[in-house]
Copies of this chain bind each other. A is one copy, B any other.
Amino acid sequence: MHSISEENYIKAIYHLQGGKALVSTNEIAGRMNTKASSVTDMLKKLADKNLAEYVPYKGARLTDKGVLCANQIIRKHRLWEVFLVEKLDFSWDEVHEVAEQLEHIQSQKLIDQIDKHLGFPKKDPHGDPIPDRHGNYEKTNKTVLSKLKKGDKGTLIGLIDSSKNFLKYLDKQHMKLGTHIEIVDFEEFDLSYTIKVNGAELQISKLISDNLYIKLN
């Protein structure tokens, strides 16, 4: 249907879109480690295929067709991540690269059977929601830890950054999805937090607190 390269651009635009009306050429190039000129070429192609709207010099946005396509790719990526962790004993910092390859395998039956085999999971190992066949997924109420105040209590349910180093840091602190967290103190000077995790107190920097999603009790 679509080439691997096209799929990777669709995914990048989807992730960069957020609230914005248009995603710029440079943003896409940055995320994909490619050059702006290559992005321009691809945006024209995606527009031809009605997967994106492209406004020269302004940027691009996925069409409904493009969004659906992105959701299918993300569905595959996240289901494969669950598979790798649950069935093949991968750790959560090892799954991304392999899932980047597996997400491009073309077989509707394959992905639906994987879904079934895993018991139709709703979340991937990093707490991100898994779209169903139709592109729908559960939105959960979540707050970035850096928005919390002293005394707030909640559960770690997701990550913003999912880079290897961040995941390894969390492992080192014995923090994983479902871990209970309590805000013990907040330091105005460097915006760091003291939190209680697994019964012990832990200092976390602003950067860390900006990358943890908490569900308040």
Contact = CB atoms under 8 A, between A and B. Distances in A.
Contact of A105 (B88, B101, B107): B101
Interface string A88-111: 111000100110011001110110
Nearest to A97: B107
A191 to B, nearest CB: 39
A113 B98 contact: no
A12 interface: no
B88 A114 contact: yes
A89 B87 CA distance: 16
A149 interface: no
Q: 9 closest pairs, A vs B, by CB?
A: A88-B113, A98-B107, A101-B105, A98-B110, A88-B117, A87-B117, A102-B105, A89-B113, A101-B106
Interface residues of A, number: 18
Interface of A: 84, 87-90, 94, 97-98, 101-102, 105-107, 109-110, 113-114, 117
Specify how many copies of this chain sit in the oligomer.
2
A90 B113 contact: yes
A13 to B, nearest CB: 25
A64 to B, nearest CB: 27
A97 B113 CA distance: 16
Contacts of A105: 98, 101-102, 105
A107 B117 contact: no
A54 B114 CA distance: 42
A102 B107 CA distance: 11
Nearest to A105: B101
A82 to B, nearest CB: 14
16 contacts: A84-B110, A87-B117, A88-B117, A89-B113, A90-B109, A90-B113, A94-B109, A97-B107, A98-B107, A98-B109, A98-B110, A101-B105, A101-B106, A101-B107, A102-B105, A105-B105
